[in-house]
Amino acid sequence: MIQQIAFIIVLGAASYFIRKRILVIRANIKLGKPKEIKDRGADRMRNMLLVAFGQKKMFKRFIPAFLHFFIYIGFLIINLEVLEFIIDGMAGTHRIFAPYLGALYPFLMNLFEFLAVAVLVACAIMLIRRNIIRVKRFWSAEMTAWPRLDANLILITEIVLMTAILTMNATDQVLQTKMPEHYAATGKLFFSANLIPLFQNMDVVPLVIIERFAWWFHIIGILGFAIYVTYSKHLHIFLAFPNTYFANLEAKGHILNMPVVTNEVKSMLGLTDAAAPTGPPAEPGRFGAKDVNDLTWNNLLAAYSCTECGRCTSECPANLTGKKLSPRKIMMDTRDRMEEVGKSLSTGGAGLGDGKTLLNDYITKEEINACTSCNACVEACPVMINPLEIILELKRYVAMEESGSPASWNAMFQNIETNFAPWKFSPADRFNWANELKNK
């Protein structure tokens, strides 16, 4: 009874903190501008199933994809065992499914143990890649002490949790032989059986303590992990699904126009709908984006969905040539600014009026000016995040609100406006180069 009460208290506390954090994240995402996304539902569902659930884009790099695959599958399937943990904790039972599943139970437990070992090995290899081999994309400038520690903490936590499962199962198997009336038979479990010699000669009391400690450690670890990931880049475990569903489905070379500018141009050219209501034009909002509230909600959702894997930055031609632009940093900065504003608002602070902005205080003009709009970062992202959308909005603000683009760009803009081309000569002379061909 004491264990049941303790378990319900722990579960209730974890649920409270998870719900509280979810509401904070939701409020932060709603800082963005509204954007209605209801088109092409079948295509969006297919993207979610193939990219988020099926890990399709991960396999462009086989080694990390192979390791991530086992961690991902292990996370999904091993957590089915947590259902038994929860029922046992609330009902005061022990391995409640064992009598009902019969011979299927040992098969499932061996499958869970295989995945636990696979997750353990994969996490160990990933730790080696990050900290000993030091794969370059994990040590870029934006990967400061906290992002590196965050990744290591998760990997180490996974290893410890998997070890707890194997320890629990090993001691449980020993107790089945010593107290068969209290411990349901699980059959032989291949992987944890290798740990049985460590516990075979122990008395019942220390065995029960170790088994219960491993049980509690695992369930508290799972609940603690669920709370922690809401503060971590590992939030992508959950948000990758809505992010891939709401991702931009247009061809990657297609850049969305600004509606207010498009309408103004159409009006000047007499292309507006004659039946449209007349009256004074609506007051235009800010051109482009200066802070997170100028971005759309799905831009902010994407910032929370970022895995910080660095594939975007490792494919960025500007970054590869030594420029300061890093698409990963763009997403990390957007998330950090969003968190800062949200925290300020929740405590009665100035929020967006704190004197800081996403542009300049987090992301510099030098960074966004280095972007060539090639979409390499968009193509590389395993969860369909689009850093280019944010970069373009920041560029638009600099060009249209501040007239702060580089002088060479302004000259190009002027030429396009007057000559319909980037070059400074009359449109009538545009084809003069072909005259040379006629004389040959």
The owner of tokens 């909600």 is 297
Q: What integer pLDDT is reported at residue 1 of this predicted model?
A: 74
Range of the domain at 111: 61-245
Evaluate whether residue 35 is within a structural domain: no
Structure-token match 């209730």, residue found: 12
Q: Give the span between the Cα atoms of 359 and 395, in whole angstroms.
A: 10
Cβ contact 33:298 at 8 Å: no
For residue 180, count other CB atoms closer than 10 A to its CB.
10
CA 85 and chain centroid, separation: 28
Residue 171 is classified by DSSP as H
- Residues sharing a CB contact under 8 Å with residue 51, sequence separation 6 or more, in sequence order: 57, 240, 244, 382, 383, 384
Triad 63, 65, 68: Cα angle to 5°: 110
The answer to the question of residue 202 being in a domain is yes
Query: What DSSP line would sit under 78-129, residue for residue?
Result: HHHHHHHHHHHHHHT-SSTTHHHHTTHHHHHHHHHHHHHHHHHHHHHHHHHH
The residue ranges of the chain whose pLDDT is under 70 are 272-285, 439-440
Of the CA atoms within 13 Å of residue 68, those in its CB half-sphere come to: 19
Contact 361, 47 (CB under 8 A): no
| Residue-level pLDDT at 79 | 76
> Taking every pair of C-alpha atoms in the chain, what is the biggest distance, in angstroms?
103
Do the domain assignments include residue 382? no
Domain membership flag for residue 11: no
Contact criterion met (CB below 8 Å) for 100 and 59: no
Rg (CA), the chain: 28
pLDDT at 253: 86
Q: What is the DSSP string of 28-81?
A: HHTTSBP----S-HHHHHHHIIIIIIS-GGGGGSHHHHHHHHHHHHHHHHHHHH
Over residues 215-225, the pLDDT tens digits come to: 999 999 999 99
Specify if 291 maps to a domain. no
- Residues 175 and 142: their CA atoms lie apart, in Å, by 50
Which residues neighbour 380 within 8 Å (Cβ) at sequence distance 6 or greater? 60, 311, 312, 314, 315
DSSP 3-state assignment of 234?
helix
Distance between the two ends of the chain, CA-based, in angstroms? 99
Indicate whether 82 belongs to any domain.
yes
The count of domains in the chain is 1
In a domain, 319, yes or no: no
| Cα distances (Å, whole numbers) of residue 398 to 106, 271, 290, 360 | 63, 28, 8, 10
Q: Which of 436, 416, 438 is nearest to 427 (CA)?
A: 416
Q: What is the pLDDT of residues 94-128, one digit of tens each?
A: 899 998 898 999 999 999 999 999 999 999 999 99
User: Which of 168, 161, 162, 164 lies closest to 207 in space, CA to CA?
Assistant: 168
Residue among 287, 290, 254 nearest 373 (CA): 254
**Residue 4 domain-assigned (yes or no):** no
